[in-house]
């Protein structure tokens, strides 16, 4: 049960991304990949057990129920790479099913070292499973894994949860095309997609009454304070979740409650935020089930199976690599990129402005009526209360973070 990690990532890249995103014309943004430092990852793990956030439980239900069937459709021998593994809990079902027939090498690819450590702890003790973590951007890490496999090895890529939804739709398809170019005929991609549901449910999932998602979002500014020496006053921001009906996505924003000047010394940045101006931190696009096979065809895959959770509309989609790419001159493998993958940003440049879409945005409103979780979910939430308190203690250790408060 080998467990090892390959290093990477520097503060200079973080600073450059922050500077570029906050100074671009129009809507200010921050790349959502930076939400997941040690504190952010811990907060996200807490979000995943909240009764309002049904996505993670739907993902796990599908994996538990259908892992055996999915594995039976895969060739042998096969290695597994996961893009954005998180703690790896939902991946256990696939790895345990594979370990019944072969020794399996599992390669979690993450930019969060704390998530990689949690993943190794969670999955490193499964019999006949070796964990080799890669602290790299998704496509860069996938190229490393693909180029290091044996001549006869196939590759299963896991892209679970709803991470594909963090990309704009066009950027998401470009990402899938780049993924396909790295793979060979016979390889497969297991893609998770969150499906459309009522606006009320979606808003509540991204703006929970306990304020955990608000803390998760605010921690991005706290991280910039800690690592880049910035002076964001966190109590002067409010977390907002919006539904964009035109783009069919949830948007997370941080709204400035007053006019303020912000300094980010490591990024050589000084800028003014107006009262009510927002910083866009993440998007989560939602899909219709019938869109996935069509998207697969456009990006060089073939949909070989789809499993849908009915309690919380969510789909696992098994996409296979056919014998040839749509273009005959497309290479099977792409050489390692010397620069960061352009598609690694969770949001591509958009032509639409905040003013042109504002009339279609449904702002977050905390509902008076509480959810009615099952007893099991209630117990899970109670267990997480102490964890949230611990996380807030961690937050308070950072610069300016002692003042994080419920918006």
Give me the CATH number covering residue 192: 3.40.50.150
Q: Are both 147 and 73 inside the same structural domain?
A: yes
Q: Is the pLDDT score of 30 beyond 80?
A: yes
**Residue 299, in any domain of the structure:** yes
- Reported as a pLDDT band with limits 50, 70 and 90, residue 274 is very high
What mean pLDDT is reported for the chain? Answer: 82
End-to-end, the C-alpha distance of the chain in Å comes to 45
What is the C-alpha separation between 308 and 369, in angstroms, rounded?
Answer: 28
Q: In terms of residue numbers, what domain contains 218? A: 28-51+208-285+349-403
**Residue 395, in any domain of the structure:** yes
Return the pLDDT at 11. 85
**Residue 19, in any domain of the structure:** no
Q: Are both 244 and 161 inside the same structural domain?
A: no
DSSP class of residue 87 equals T
* Domain end among 301, 317, 339: 339
Position with higher pLDDT, 111 vs 56: 56
Cα–Cα distance list, 57 to 89, 104, 227, 282 (Å): 11, 25, 33, 21
Lowest mean pLDDT among 176-185, 353-362, 376-385: 353-362
Side by side, the strands of the sheet bearing 314-320 are 3-6, 129-135, 104-110, 78-83, 154-159, 188-194, 314-320, 302-309
Cα–Cα distance list, 199 to 3, 6, 184, 219, 278 (Å): 42, 41, 39, 25, 21
Q: Are both 101 and 192 inside the same structural domain?
A: yes
What average pLDDT score do residues 43-66 get? 96
Residue whose structure tokens are 């910035």 = 230
Q: Under DSSP, is residue 53 helix (H, G, I), strand (E, B) or coil?
A: coil
pLDDT, tens digit, 9 for 90 and up, residues 92-138: 999 999 999 999 999 999 888 888 888 888 898 898 999 999 999 99
Return the pLDDT at 324. 65
**Residue 2, in any domain of the structure:** no
Return the pLDDT at 255. 99
Q: Are both 253 and 328 inside the same structural domain?
A: no
- Reported as a pLDDT band with limits 50, 70 and 90, residue 361 is very low
Q: Which two tokens stand for residue 268?
A: 């050589």
**Residue 89, in any domain of the structure:** yes
Number of H helices, E strands in the chain: 12, 15
If one counts the domains in the chain, the total is: 2
Q: Is the pLDDT score of 406 beyond 90?
A: no
Q: Are both 61 and 172 inside the same structural domain?
A: yes
Return the pLDDT at 327. 54
What is the C-alpha separation between 55 and 166, in angstroms, rounded?
Answer: 14
**Residue 5, in any domain of the structure:** no
What average pLDDT score do residues 59-77 get? 95
- Reported as a pLDDT band with limits 50, 70 and 90, residue 350 is very low
Using N-to-C axis directions, what is the helix angle for 38-47 and 212-228, rounded to 10°?
170
Return the pLDDT at 206. 98
Per the CB < 8 A criterion, the answer to whether 114 and 37 are in contact is yes
* Count of other CB atoms within 10 angstroms of residue 402: 15
- Reported as a pLDDT band with limits 50, 70 and 90, residue 273 is very high
β 188-194/314-320 pair status: antiparallel
Q: Which two tokens stand for residue 402?
A: 């002692």
Which residues are bridge partners to 285 per DSSP?
Answer: 249
Q: Which two tokens stand for residue 240?
A: 């907002």
pLDDT, tens digit, 9 for 90 and up, residues 182-234: 999 999 999 999 999 999 999 999 999 999 999 999 999 999 999 999 999 99
Radius of gyration of the chain (CA): 21
Cα–Cα distance list, 173 to 263, 336, 343 (Å): 36, 20, 10
What is the C-alpha separation between 251 and 244, in angstroms, rounded?
Answer: 7
What average pLDDT score do residues 288-293 get? 98
- Reported as a pLDDT band with limits 50, 70 and 90, residue 331 is very low
Return the pLDDT at 325. 64
**Residue 17, in any domain of the structure:** no
pLDDT, tens digit, 9 for 90 and up, residues 223-240: 999 999 999 999 999 999
Q: Are both 177 and 126 inside the same structural domain?
A: yes
**Residue 202, in any domain of the structure:** no
What average pLDDT score do residues 233-261 get? 98
Residue whose structure tokens are 């969670």 = 122
């Amino acid at each position: 049960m080998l467990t090892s990690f390959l290093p990477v990532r520097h503060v200079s890249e973080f600073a450059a991304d922050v500077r570029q995103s906050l100074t671009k014309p129009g809507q200010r943004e921050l790349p959502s990949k930076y939400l997941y430092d040690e504190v952010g990852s811990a907060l996200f793990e807490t979000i995943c057990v909240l009764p309002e956030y049904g996505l993670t439980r739907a993902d796990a239900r599908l994996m538990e129920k259908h892992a055996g069937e999915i594995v039976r459709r895969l060739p042998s021998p096969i290695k597994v790479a996961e893009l954005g593994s998180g703690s790896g809990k939902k991946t256990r079902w696939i790895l345990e099913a594979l370990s019944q027939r072969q020794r399996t090498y599992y390669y979690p690819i993450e930019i969060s070292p704390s998530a990689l450590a949690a993943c190794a702890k969670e999955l490193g003790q499964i019999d006949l499973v070796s964990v080799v973590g890669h602290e790299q951007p998704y496509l860069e890490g996938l190229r490393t894994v693909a180029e290091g496999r044996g001549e006869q090895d196939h590759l299963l890529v896991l892209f679970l949860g709803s991470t594909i939804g963090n990309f704009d739709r066009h950027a998401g398809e470009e990402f899938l095309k780049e993924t396909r170019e790295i793979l060979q005929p016979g390889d497969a991609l297991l893609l998770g997609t969150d499906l459309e549901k009522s606006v009320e449910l979606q808003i509540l999932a991204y703006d929970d009454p306990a304020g955990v998602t608000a803390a998760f979002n605010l921690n991005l500014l706290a991280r910039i304070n800690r690592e880049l020496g910035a002076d964001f006053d966190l109590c002067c921001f409010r977390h907002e979740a919006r539904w964009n009906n035109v783009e069919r996505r949830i948007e997370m924003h941080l709204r400035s409650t007053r006019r303020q000047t912000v300094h980010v010394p490591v990024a050589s940045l000084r800028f003014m935020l107006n009262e009510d101006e927002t910083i866009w931190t993440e998007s989560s696009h939602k899909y219709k089930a019938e869109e996935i096979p069509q998207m697969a065809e456009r990006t060089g895959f073939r949909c070989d199976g789809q499993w849908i959770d009915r309690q919380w509309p969510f789909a696992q989609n098994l996409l296979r690599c056919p014998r040839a790419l749509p273009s005959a001159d497309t290479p099977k493998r792409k050489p390692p990129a010397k620069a960061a993958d352009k598609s690694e940003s969770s949001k591509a440049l958009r032509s639409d402005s905040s003013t042109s879409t504002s009339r279609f945005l449904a702002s977050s409103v905390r509902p008076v009526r509480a959810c009615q979780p099952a007893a099991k979910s209630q117990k899970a939430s109670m267990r997480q209360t102490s964890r949230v308190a611990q996380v807030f203690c961690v937050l308070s250790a950072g610069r300016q973070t002692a003042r994080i408060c419920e918006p």
